[in-house]
Structure 1
Protein backbone atom coordinates (compact mmCIF):
# COMPACT_ATOMS: atom_id res chain seq x y z
CA UNK A 1 0.00 0.00 0.00
CA UNK A 2 1.36 3.39 -1.01
CA UNK A 3 1.43 6.23 1.48
CA UNK A 4 0.13 9.67 0.53
CA UNK A 5 1.58 13.06 1.23
CA UNK A 6 -0.42 16.23 1.18
CA UNK A 7 0.88 19.28 -0.65
CA UNK A 8 0.12 22.58 0.99
CA UNK A 9 -0.14 26.02 -0.56
CA UNK A 10 2.34 28.67 0.42
CA UNK A 11 1.83 30.05 3.92
CA UNK A 12 -1.14 27.75 4.80
CA UNK A 13 -3.23 28.38 7.90
CA UNK A 14 -2.34 26.33 11.02
CA UNK A 15 -5.49 24.21 10.86
CA UNK A 16 -4.65 23.16 7.29
CA UNK A 17 -1.11 22.23 8.34
CA UNK A 18 -2.46 20.17 11.23
CA UNK A 19 -4.98 18.42 8.98
CA UNK A 20 -2.26 17.62 6.43
CA UNK A 21 0.01 16.15 9.12
CA UNK A 22 -2.84 14.07 10.49
CA UNK A 23 -3.73 12.80 7.02
CA UNK A 24 -0.14 11.80 6.33
CA UNK A 25 0.11 10.02 9.69
CA UNK A 26 -3.10 8.08 9.05
CA UNK A 27 -1.84 7.06 5.62
CA UNK A 28 1.45 5.84 7.08
CA UNK A 29 -0.36 3.93 9.82
CA UNK A 30 -2.62 2.23 7.28
CA UNK A 31 0.42 1.19 5.23
CA UNK A 32 2.14 -0.20 8.35
CA UNK A 33 -0.97 -2.19 9.31
CA UNK A 34 -1.24 -3.62 5.80
CA UNK A 35 2.42 -4.66 5.91
CA UNK A 36 1.91 -6.29 9.31
CA UNK A 37 -1.14 -8.13 8.00
CA UNK A 38 0.82 -9.49 5.05
CA UNK A 39 3.66 -10.62 7.32
CA UNK A 40 1.16 -12.39 9.56
CA UNK A 41 -0.35 -14.21 6.58
CA UNK A 42 3.09 -15.25 5.33
CA UNK A 43 4.11 -16.54 8.75
CA UNK A 44 0.87 -18.49 9.14
CA UNK A 45 1.38 -20.05 5.72
CA UNK A 46 4.97 -20.92 6.63
CA UNK A 47 3.92 -22.61 9.87
CA UNK A 48 1.24 -24.62 8.10
CA UNK A 49 3.69 -25.68 5.40
CA UNK A 50 6.02 -27.22 7.97
CA UNK A 51 3.35 -29.68 9.05
CA UNK A 52 3.36 -33.05 7.35
CA UNK A 53 -0.11 -34.18 6.20
CA UNK A 54 -1.65 -36.66 8.62
CA UNK A 55 0.85 -35.94 11.39
CA UNK A 56 -0.94 -35.79 14.73
CA UNK A 57 1.23 -37.73 17.16
CA UNK A 58 4.28 -36.49 19.00
CA UNK A 59 6.46 -39.44 18.01
CA UNK A 60 6.10 -38.69 14.29
CA UNK A 61 7.63 -35.23 14.53
CA UNK A 62 11.37 -34.60 14.51
CA UNK A 63 12.55 -32.20 17.18
CA UNK A 64 13.99 -28.99 15.67
CA UNK A 65 17.23 -27.60 17.01
CA UNK A 66 18.30 -25.24 18.47
CA UNK A 67 15.36 -24.33 20.68
CA UNK A 68 16.46 -20.92 21.92
CA UNK A 69 13.42 -18.85 21.00
CA UNK A 70 15.37 -15.62 21.38
CA UNK A 71 17.76 -16.62 18.58
CA UNK A 72 15.41 -18.27 16.08
CA UNK A 73 15.02 -16.94 12.56
CA UNK A 74 11.56 -16.76 11.01
CA UNK A 75 11.92 -20.11 9.22
CA UNK A 76 13.36 -21.84 12.29
CA UNK A 77 10.63 -20.38 14.50
CA UNK A 78 7.95 -21.59 12.08
CA UNK A 79 9.29 -25.14 12.28
CA UNK A 80 9.55 -24.94 16.07
CA UNK A 81 6.00 -23.59 16.45
CA UNK A 82 4.59 -26.34 14.26
CA UNK A 83 6.46 -29.02 16.19
CA UNK A 84 5.55 -27.61 19.60
CA UNK A 85 1.86 -27.06 18.81
CA UNK A 86 1.51 -30.69 17.75
CA UNK A 87 3.43 -31.96 20.77
CA UNK A 88 1.44 -29.93 23.31
CA UNK A 89 -1.81 -31.09 21.72
CA UNK A 90 -0.61 -34.67 22.15
CA UNK A 91 0.52 -34.03 25.74
CA UNK A 92 -2.80 -32.48 26.82
CA UNK A 93 -4.79 -35.30 25.23
CA UNK A 94 -2.55 -38.14 26.39
CA UNK A 95 -2.31 -36.99 30.01
CA UNK A 96 -5.80 -35.46 30.09
CA UNK A 97 -4.67 -32.11 31.48
CA UNK A 98 -6.60 -29.42 29.59
CA UNK A 99 -7.44 -27.78 32.91
CA UNK A 100 -3.72 -27.26 33.62
CA UNK A 101 -2.63 -25.93 30.23
CA UNK A 102 -4.97 -23.29 28.79
CA UNK A 103 -5.72 -23.44 25.08
CA UNK A 104 -4.18 -19.98 24.70
CA UNK A 105 -0.77 -21.17 25.96
CA UNK A 106 1.01 -19.87 22.81
CA UNK A 107 0.07 -16.34 23.91
CA UNK A 108 1.92 -16.75 27.24
CA UNK A 109 5.72 -16.66 26.80
CA UNK A 110 6.42 -18.40 30.16
CA UNK A 111 4.21 -21.33 29.13
CA UNK A 112 5.89 -21.49 25.73
CA UNK A 113 9.32 -21.73 27.35
CA UNK A 114 8.17 -24.32 29.90
CA UNK A 115 6.46 -26.50 27.33
CA UNK A 116 9.39 -26.23 24.93
CA UNK A 117 11.68 -27.55 27.65
CA UNK A 118 9.28 -30.39 28.45
CA UNK A 119 8.97 -31.34 24.79
CA UNK A 120 12.74 -31.36 24.29
CA UNK A 121 13.24 -33.52 27.36
CA UNK A 122 10.49 -35.91 26.21
CA UNK A 123 12.09 -36.41 22.81
CA UNK A 124 15.49 -36.93 24.38
CA UNK A 125 14.35 -39.46 26.97
CA UNK A 126 12.68 -41.63 24.31
CA UNK A 127 15.64 -41.47 21.94
CA UNK A 128 17.11 -44.82 20.86
CA UNK A 129 20.31 -44.04 22.76
CA UNK A 130 18.60 -42.79 25.92
CA UNK A 131 19.09 -44.48 29.29
CA UNK A 132 16.31 -46.97 30.16
CA UNK A 133 15.17 -44.91 33.15
CA UNK A 134 14.90 -41.77 31.03
CA UNK A 135 11.10 -41.98 30.62
CA UNK A 136 10.67 -42.43 34.37
CA UNK A 137 12.82 -39.37 35.08
CA UNK A 138 10.85 -37.39 32.53
CA UNK A 139 7.57 -38.24 34.27
CA UNK A 140 9.04 -37.05 37.55
CA UNK A 141 9.98 -33.78 35.86
CA UNK A 142 6.52 -33.56 34.33
CA UNK A 143 5.00 -33.86 37.79
CA UNK A 144 7.06 -30.90 39.02
CA UNK A 145 6.39 -28.97 35.83
CA UNK A 146 2.63 -29.34 36.29
CA UNK A 147 2.89 -27.40 39.55
CA UNK A 148 4.75 -24.63 37.78
CA UNK A 149 2.25 -24.60 34.92
CA UNK A 150 -0.61 -24.23 37.38
CA UNK A 151 1.33 -21.43 39.06
CA UNK A 152 1.61 -19.51 35.79
CA UNK A 153 -2.09 -20.01 35.12
CA UNK A 154 -2.99 -18.69 38.56
CA UNK A 155 -1.91 -15.29 37.22
CA UNK A 156 -3.53 -15.51 33.82
CA UNK A 157 -6.80 -17.22 34.86
CA UNK A 158 -7.52 -18.28 31.30
CA UNK A 159 -10.59 -20.50 31.29
CA UNK A 160 -12.87 -22.16 28.74
CA UNK A 161 -10.94 -20.85 25.77
CA UNK A 162 -11.01 -17.25 27.01
CA UNK A 163 -7.58 -15.61 26.98
CA UNK A 164 -6.70 -13.11 29.70
CA UNK A 165 -3.57 -11.02 29.34
CA UNK A 166 -1.37 -11.36 32.38
CA UNK A 167 -1.31 -8.01 34.21
CA UNK A 168 2.04 -6.39 34.98
CA UNK A 169 1.29 -4.79 38.31
CA UNK A 170 4.95 -4.28 39.10
CA UNK A 171 7.71 -3.31 36.69
CA UNK A 172 11.37 -2.46 37.12
CA UNK A 173 12.17 1.26 37.09
CA UNK A 174 13.49 2.76 33.88
CA UNK A 175 16.98 3.26 35.28
CA UNK A 176 17.46 -0.27 36.58
CA UNK A 177 20.08 -1.15 33.96
CA UNK A 178 22.31 1.81 34.78
CA UNK A 179 22.01 1.03 38.49
CA UNK A 180 22.96 -2.59 37.84
CA UNK A 181 26.02 -1.54 35.84
CA UNK A 182 27.08 0.89 38.58
CA UNK A 183 26.74 -1.84 41.20
CA UNK A 184 28.78 -4.25 39.09
CA UNK A 185 31.50 -1.65 38.53
CA UNK A 186 31.60 -0.89 42.25
CA UNK A 187 32.06 -4.59 42.98
CA UNK A 188 34.85 -4.89 40.39
CA UNK A 189 36.67 -1.87 41.82
CA UNK A 190 37.11 -3.67 45.16
CA UNK A 191 38.42 -6.91 43.68
CA UNK A 192 42.15 -7.67 43.25
CA UNK A 193 43.38 -7.72 39.67
CA UNK A 194 45.06 -11.11 40.19
CA UNK A 195 44.30 -14.06 42.41
CA UNK A 196 46.08 -13.99 45.77
CA UNK A 197 46.62 -17.72 45.35
CA UNK A 198 48.35 -17.15 42.02
CA UNK A 199 50.58 -14.47 43.57
CA UNK A 200 51.54 -16.82 46.40
CA UNK A 201 52.45 -19.59 43.97
CA UNK A 202 54.65 -17.25 41.91
CA UNK A 203 56.57 -16.12 45.00
Structure 2
Protein backbone atom coordinates (compact mmCIF):
# COMPACT_ATOMS: atom_id res chain seq x y z
CA UNK A 1 0.00 0.00 0.00
CA UNK A 2 1.29 3.45 -0.78
CA UNK A 3 1.77 6.19 1.75
CA UNK A 4 -1.16 8.21 0.26
CA UNK A 5 -3.43 5.17 0.56
CA UNK A 6 -2.44 4.64 4.17
CA UNK A 7 -3.06 8.28 5.01
CA UNK A 8 -6.49 8.10 3.34
CA UNK A 9 -5.80 10.69 0.65
CA UNK A 10 -5.85 8.18 -2.25
CA UNK A 11 -8.66 5.66 -2.75
CA UNK A 12 -7.71 2.00 -2.89
CA UNK A 13 -6.93 0.67 -6.40
CA UNK A 14 -10.09 -1.47 -6.47
CA UNK A 15 -12.28 1.54 -5.79
CA UNK A 16 -10.40 3.66 -8.36
CA UNK A 17 -10.83 0.95 -11.00
CA UNK A 18 -14.52 0.63 -10.15
CA UNK A 19 -14.93 4.40 -10.36
CA UNK A 20 -13.26 4.44 -13.81
CA UNK A 21 -15.52 1.60 -15.04
CA UNK A 22 -18.60 3.39 -13.70
CA UNK A 23 -17.58 6.60 -15.45
CA UNK A 24 -16.97 4.66 -18.72
CA UNK A 25 -20.38 3.01 -18.39
CA UNK A 26 -21.99 6.36 -17.69
CA UNK A 27 -20.39 7.79 -20.84
CA UNK A 28 -21.59 4.83 -22.90
CA UNK A 29 -25.13 5.08 -21.49
CA UNK A 30 -25.14 8.79 -22.29
CA UNK A 31 -24.14 8.04 -25.90
CA UNK A 32 -26.94 5.47 -26.17
CA UNK A 33 -29.45 7.89 -24.71
CA UNK A 34 -28.44 10.49 -27.29
CA UNK A 35 -29.41 8.02 -30.01
CA UNK A 36 -32.96 7.94 -28.59
CA UNK A 37 -33.21 4.18 -29.02
CA UNK A 38 -36.49 4.11 -27.12
CA UNK A 39 -38.10 6.41 -29.69
CA UNK A 40 -36.66 4.40 -32.55
CA UNK A 41 -37.88 1.16 -31.01
CA UNK A 42 -41.37 2.67 -30.62
CA UNK A 43 -41.34 3.76 -34.29
CA UNK A 44 -40.24 0.28 -35.38
CA UNK A 45 -43.00 -1.28 -33.28
CA UNK A 46 -45.56 0.93 -35.06
CA UNK A 47 -44.23 -0.11 -38.49
CA UNK A 48 -44.36 -3.80 -37.54
CA UNK A 49 -47.90 -3.39 -36.18
CA UNK A 50 -48.99 -1.56 -39.33
CA UNK A 51 -47.60 -4.35 -41.52
CA UNK A 52 -49.26 -7.00 -39.37
CA UNK A 53 -52.62 -5.20 -39.52
CA UNK A 54 -52.40 -4.36 -43.23
CA UNK A 55 -55.13 -6.10 -45.22
CA UNK A 56 -54.26 -7.92 -48.38
CA UNK A 57 -53.53 -5.55 -51.22
CA UNK A 58 -56.50 -4.75 -53.43
CA UNK A 59 -54.30 -5.13 -56.48
CA UNK A 60 -54.22 -8.90 -56.05
CA UNK A 61 -50.48 -8.92 -56.53
CA UNK A 62 -48.83 -10.22 -59.65
CA UNK A 63 -50.94 -12.16 -62.14
CA UNK A 64 -49.21 -15.22 -63.52
CA UNK A 65 -51.26 -16.12 -66.58
CA UNK A 66 -49.25 -19.27 -67.28
CA UNK A 67 -49.97 -20.62 -63.81
CA UNK A 68 -53.72 -19.96 -63.88
CA UNK A 69 -56.39 -22.59 -64.29
CA UNK A 70 -58.96 -22.01 -67.07
CA UNK A 71 -61.43 -20.75 -64.45
CA UNK A 72 -58.87 -18.32 -63.04
CA UNK A 73 -58.01 -17.17 -66.56
CA UNK A 74 -61.69 -16.54 -67.29
CA UNK A 75 -62.00 -14.43 -64.13
CA UNK A 76 -58.78 -12.57 -64.92
CA UNK A 77 -59.94 -11.87 -68.49
CA UNK A 78 -63.30 -10.57 -67.21
CA UNK A 79 -61.58 -8.29 -64.72
CA UNK A 80 -58.99 -7.05 -67.22
CA UNK A 81 -61.61 -6.40 -69.89
CA UNK A 82 -63.87 -4.55 -67.45
CA UNK A 83 -60.91 -2.45 -66.23
CA UNK A 84 -59.88 -1.65 -69.78
CA UNK A 85 -63.39 -0.64 -70.84
CA UNK A 86 -64.18 1.44 -67.74
CA UNK A 87 -60.82 2.86 -66.64
CA UNK A 88 -58.42 2.74 -69.57
CA UNK A 89 -60.92 3.56 -72.31
CA UNK A 90 -63.10 5.73 -70.08
CA UNK A 91 -60.41 7.83 -68.38
CA UNK A 92 -57.50 7.59 -70.83
CA UNK A 93 -59.16 7.30 -74.25
CA UNK A 94 -56.21 8.71 -76.22
CA UNK A 95 -53.83 6.13 -74.77
CA UNK A 96 -56.38 3.37 -75.28
CA UNK A 97 -56.88 4.25 -78.96
CA UNK A 98 -53.18 4.78 -79.59
CA UNK A 99 -52.31 1.36 -78.16
CA UNK A 100 -55.14 -0.85 -79.24
CA UNK A 101 -55.89 0.05 -82.84
CA UNK A 102 -55.20 -3.54 -83.80
CA UNK A 103 -58.21 -5.64 -82.91
CA UNK A 104 -56.04 -8.66 -82.18
CA UNK A 105 -54.23 -7.32 -79.11
CA UNK A 106 -55.71 -10.09 -76.94
CA UNK A 107 -54.04 -12.70 -79.18
CA UNK A 108 -50.59 -11.38 -78.25
CA UNK A 109 -49.42 -12.75 -74.88
CA UNK A 110 -46.83 -10.00 -74.50
CA UNK A 111 -49.51 -7.34 -74.98
CA UNK A 112 -51.75 -9.09 -72.45
CA UNK A 113 -48.84 -9.07 -69.96
CA UNK A 114 -48.26 -5.34 -70.57
CA UNK A 115 -51.93 -4.52 -70.05
CA UNK A 116 -52.11 -6.75 -66.98
CA UNK A 117 -49.15 -4.91 -65.49
CA UNK A 118 -50.75 -1.58 -66.34
CA UNK A 119 -53.96 -2.67 -64.62
CA UNK A 120 -52.25 -3.90 -61.44
CA UNK A 121 -50.02 -0.82 -61.19
CA UNK A 122 -53.14 1.34 -61.64
CA UNK A 123 -54.76 -0.49 -58.71
CA UNK A 124 -51.59 0.03 -56.65
CA UNK A 125 -51.50 3.71 -57.61
CA UNK A 126 -55.15 4.61 -57.22
CA UNK A 127 -56.86 2.12 -54.92
CA UNK A 128 -54.28 0.89 -52.44
CA UNK A 129 -55.05 2.37 -49.00
CA UNK A 130 -51.50 3.72 -48.74
CA UNK A 131 -51.47 5.24 -52.23
CA UNK A 132 -50.71 8.91 -52.49
CA UNK A 133 -50.26 11.54 -55.16
CA UNK A 134 -46.72 10.40 -55.98
CA UNK A 135 -47.93 6.92 -56.96
CA UNK A 136 -50.58 8.45 -59.19
CA UNK A 137 -48.06 10.80 -60.76
CA UNK A 138 -45.66 7.90 -61.30
CA UNK A 139 -48.39 5.84 -62.99
CA UNK A 140 -49.32 8.72 -65.28
CA UNK A 141 -45.74 9.68 -66.09
CA UNK A 142 -44.03 6.29 -66.11
CA UNK A 143 -46.26 3.22 -66.38
CA UNK A 144 -48.97 4.44 -68.78
CA UNK A 145 -46.57 5.94 -71.38
CA UNK A 146 -44.26 2.90 -71.14
CA UNK A 147 -47.17 0.54 -71.77
CA UNK A 148 -48.35 2.61 -74.74
CA UNK A 149 -44.85 2.49 -76.27
CA UNK A 150 -44.41 -1.25 -75.69
CA UNK A 151 -47.84 -2.24 -77.00
CA UNK A 152 -47.50 -0.07 -80.10
CA UNK A 153 -44.08 -1.60 -80.80
CA UNK A 154 -45.42 -5.15 -80.40
CA UNK A 155 -48.49 -4.59 -82.56
CA UNK A 156 -46.84 -2.59 -85.34
CA UNK A 157 -45.35 -5.79 -86.76
CA UNK A 158 -48.53 -7.83 -86.53
CA UNK A 159 -49.17 -9.54 -89.85
CA UNK A 160 -52.31 -8.61 -91.82
CA UNK A 161 -53.57 -12.20 -91.89
CA UNK A 162 -53.57 -12.19 -88.09
CA UNK A 163 -56.00 -9.27 -87.83
CA UNK A 164 -59.00 -10.09 -90.06
CA UNK A 165 -62.29 -9.27 -88.38
CA UNK A 166 -63.97 -12.26 -86.81
CA UNK A 167 -67.30 -12.92 -88.54
CA UNK A 168 -70.53 -13.56 -86.70
CA UNK A 169 -73.92 -13.31 -88.39
CA UNK A 170 -72.78 -11.15 -91.31
CA UNK A 171 -70.95 -8.59 -89.17
CA UNK A 172 -67.50 -8.15 -87.73
CA UNK A 173 -67.10 -9.22 -84.10
CA UNK A 174 -65.77 -6.51 -81.80
CA UNK A 175 -62.77 -6.97 -79.54
CA UNK A 176 -65.08 -7.18 -76.55
CA UNK A 177 -67.22 -9.86 -78.18
CA UNK A 178 -64.13 -11.84 -79.15
CA UNK A 179 -62.89 -11.72 -75.57
CA UNK A 180 -66.28 -12.64 -74.20
CA UNK A 181 -66.24 -15.67 -76.48
CA UNK A 182 -62.78 -16.59 -75.18
CA UNK A 183 -63.95 -16.18 -71.57
CA UNK A 184 -66.96 -18.41 -72.24
CA UNK A 185 -64.67 -21.07 -73.72
CA UNK A 186 -62.38 -20.90 -70.66
CA UNK A 187 -65.36 -21.22 -68.33
CA UNK A 188 -66.62 -24.23 -70.28
CA UNK A 189 -63.15 -25.79 -70.06
CA UNK A 190 -63.05 -25.09 -66.30
CA UNK A 191 -66.44 -26.80 -65.87
CA UNK A 192 -65.15 -29.99 -67.53
CA UNK A 193 -63.99 -32.78 -65.20
CA UNK A 194 -60.32 -32.20 -64.47
CA UNK A 195 -60.56 -28.56 -65.72
TM interval, short-chain normalised: 0.3 to 0.5
Larger Rg: 2
By relative contact order (CA 8 Å, sep 6+), the higher-ranking structure is: 2
TM-score by length of 2: 0.46
Give the structure with the higher percent helix. 2
- TM value normalised by structure 1: 0.44
